[in-house]
Amino acid sequence: MSTLPLAVTRRRGQGMRHTLDVRVSPYAYVAPFFLLFCAFGLFPLVYTAWVSLHEWTLLSETQTFVGLDNFTTLLADDYFWNATFNTLSIGVLSTVPQLALAIWLAHLLNRRLRLQTLFRVSLLLPNVTSVVAVVVIFSQLFGRDFGMINWVLSWFGVGSIDWAAGTASSHVALSVMIMWRWTGYNALIFLAAMQAVPRELYEAATLDGAGNFTQLRRITIPMIRPTMIFVVIVSTIGAMQIIAEPMLFGQSSGGGGGIATGGPDRQFQTLALFVYEQGFANSTFDFGYASAASWLMFLAVVIVAGINFLITRRAKGGLV
Amino acid sequence: MRLRYLTLTAVAFFSAFPLYYSVVVASRHNSALAEVPPPLLPGGNFFANVARVFDTVPFGLALLNSVIVAGSISVAVMFFSTLAGFAFAKLKFRGKNAMLVITVATMMVPAQLGIIPLYMLMVKLEWTGTNYALIVPALVNAFGVFFMTQYLSRALPTELLEAGRVDGCSTWGLFWHVVLPAARPAAAVLGMLTFMSAWNDYFWPLVVLSPDNPTVQVALSTLASGYVNDYVLGLAGTAIGTLPLVAVFALFGKQIIGGIMQGAVKG
């Protein structure tokens, strides 16, 4: 009742203001995000297309429109195709085992378990570690002469591997770093989805005599499919843009080559690193060419993500 | 059952060991790296190595920059995400659902592809080499908005807002007096997640900053690249530049993990 006098004394103008407040405030509250995204997310992406049609360098004041010239040059550029191959190779090597392992770990954690928190925290430790730290640490572990990994391998009669030097070995080393950093994170995402699966399904399956692995295959995976699709797409997009790992690995493995070449023979230069090399590390600062490469990369991201979406959606229980 | 614990323990070991080993190496002398078998216990050289880090790169400045950048980004993200999350979760307006879908969809945009125009934009604004270039584009993000939307639609009773309305609160008043206090637990988790990712961000700071005014991660990469095979120096930098964060995480791990998992369950 105490509100009644207030309402009575409220003047007409205040009523208007109230309506305005209720109508407009919500838009004002979500506006910061959309403004920021348009300015620093959407605009650069679209403007990349415009730049890619020009002869455009940091050094020159004028930009000449050259149509699709940058793209035709790019398609004939061996370094571009090399980078495409490396991106796909590292992407597959790091993502496929990572997601399989993540699902399995989530399945192991999805029980009443002592030390549950300790296990979860330790799983996520690598993800809290910065990418610079990860690569610096692993470059040491993967060292040819005194690295711990070669030392352990030597017990099994494996000779010293120069991890950074070879194409396949450097891809494996980089994939290990990426997996180390992201497996636990994805496992927790899967675990969150698994906890939403009704317990009764498992109880019924246990009564029917279904084993652990069968339950994972027949119940868990079909039930968490939306999350799987989400994780696969996000991981794919991430894998197609890998740049910091090869960049830092090239620097700290001591193999030589420039900051952005991905090893002296470009054996692990990814697409994103190629873009960076053309735009920022090359003496020409060729923004036009780099933007064209960005767009082809975007195309590749969309295609690969689309294919993975279709595969994940169609996959029956036997995906793992 | 025993196999389950064995596997999880092994995984926990492999997660933690590289971090531990980096401290071992960081506390030794470079000559220890050539030992076979490799050293497995920390040595006594840690502070001497850390001093070398400060001599080699402007590490004090880097720490200051990183604290400023990660701190301001976290506060801004907490504030703007709660604001937008409030609107999406509890207010009625036309186009709300579409806008929320768009927000989530922007998480899938490979933003790195726009790096060249973004850099050109920073040149135009004369922000290259300054912390503005790092802070302003990161003031709010889709993950934060989605995260707070999820939390507020679950945890904030609509009756509380209605009561506030009856008492004559404006929308802003509701936000300030009702929503912000209620959002505190989730906002704290979001703040920690944001701080960690801002602190660890590497590529964009590398592009837009110069080596003489770096963030911690840029300084670390300078350490790792400048001195070929001086792993001890690189790892000593890593130890002081990233391990404090890992320690904080280990302390608040339970809450942070809860936050990540809640954010993951898509509504």
Query: How many Cβ atoms are within 10 Å of B7's Cβ, its own excluded?
Result: 13
Q: How confident is the model at residue A2 (pLDDT cuts 50, 70, 90)?
A: very low
B84-109 pLDDT per residue, tens: 999 999 999 999 999 999 998 888 88
Q: How far is A168 from chain B (nearest CA, A)?
A: 23
Average pLDDT over residues B176-184: 92
DSSP per-residue codes, B69-116 = HHHHHHHHHHHHHHHHHHHHHH---TTHHHHHHHHHHHTTS-GGGGHH
CA-nearest of A286, A320, A267, A304 to A70 is A286
At residue B257, the pLDDT reads: 85
Which residues of chain B neighbour A41 with C-beta distances below 8 Å? Answer: 106, 109, 111, 114
- Give the best residue of B63, B80, B112, B232 to mutate against chain A (max A CB count within 10 A): B112
Q: Which range in A148-152, A157-161, B35-39 is most confidently predicted, on average pLDDT?
A: A148-152
At residue B43, the pLDDT reads: 84
With 0-12 / 13-18 / 19 or more C-beta atoms within 10 angstroms meaning exposed / middle / buried, residue B25 is buried
Please tell me if residue B96 touches chain A, with a CB cutoff of 8 Å. Answer: yes
B97-145 pLDDT per residue, tens: 999 999 988 888 887 788 899 999 999 999 999 999 999 999 999 999 9
| ipTM higher than threshold 0.95 | no
At residue A113, the pLDDT reads: 83
Query: Which is it for the CA torsion A316, B1, B6, B8, positive or negative?
Result: positive
At residue A6, the pLDDT reads: 44
Average pLDDT over residues B8-20: 92
In this model, does residue A3 exceed pLDDT 50?
no
In this model, does residue A131 exceed pLDDT 50?
yes
At residue A316, the pLDDT reads: 55
Identify the residue with better confidence: B231 or B178.
B178
In this model, does residue A8 exceed pLDDT 80?
no
3-state SS record for A132-176: HHHHHHHHHHCCCCCCHHHHHHHCCCCCCCCCCCCHHHHHHHHHH
Q: How confident is the model at residue B232 (pLDDT cuts 50, 70, 90)?
A: confident
Residues of chain A with CATH 1.10.3720.10: 69-319
Q: Which range in A87-91, A234-238, A277-281, B50-54 is most confidently predicted, on average pLDDT?
A: A87-91
d(CA B55, CA B74): 30
At residue A255, the pLDDT reads: 64
Q: A33 and B84 in contact by Cβ < 8 A?
A: yes
Q: What is the CATH number of domain A69-319?
A: 1.10.3720.10
In this model, does residue A1 exceed pLDDT 70?
no
Closest-CA residue of A relative to B34 is: A146
In this model, does residue B75 exceed pLDDT 90?
yes
d(CA A87, CA A273): 10
Whether the CB-CB separation of A55 and A66 falls below 8 Å is answered with yes
A265 DSSP assignment: T
Q: How confident is the model at residue B74 (pLDDT cuts 50, 70, 90)?
A: very high
d(CA A293, CA A275): 6
Nearest beta carbon to residue A189 from set B229, B231, B264: B264
Whether the CB-CB separation of A264 and A255 falls below 8 Å is answered with yes
φ/ψ (deg, to 5) at A211:
-80, 180
A287-318 pLDDT per residue, tens: 999 999 999 988 888 898 888 888 887 765 44
In this model, does residue A252 exceed pLDDT 80?
no
Which residues of chain B neighbour A110 with C-beta distances below 8 Å? Answer: none
Superfamily of structural domain B13-264: MetI-like (1.10.3720.10)
Q: B22 and A133 in contact by Cβ < 8 A?
A: yes
Query: How many Cβ atoms are within 10 Å of A288's Cβ, its own excluded?
Result: 25
CA-nearest of B126, B21, B231, B230 to A149 is B21
In this model, does residue A47 exceed pLDDT 80?
yes
d(CA A259, CA A238): 21
Which residues of chain A neighbour B140 with C-beta distances below 8 Å? Answer: 32-33, 36
Q: Which range in A73-87, A100-114, A147-161, A298-312 is most confidently predicted, on average pLDDT?
A: A73-87
Average pLDDT over residues A158-182: 92
Q: A148 and B103 in contact by Cβ < 8 A?
A: no
Please tell me if residue B98 touches chain A, with a CB cutoff of 8 Å. Answer: no
Q: What is the mean pLDDT of chain B?
A: 88
At residue A36, the pLDDT reads: 95
At residue A12, the pLDDT reads: 56
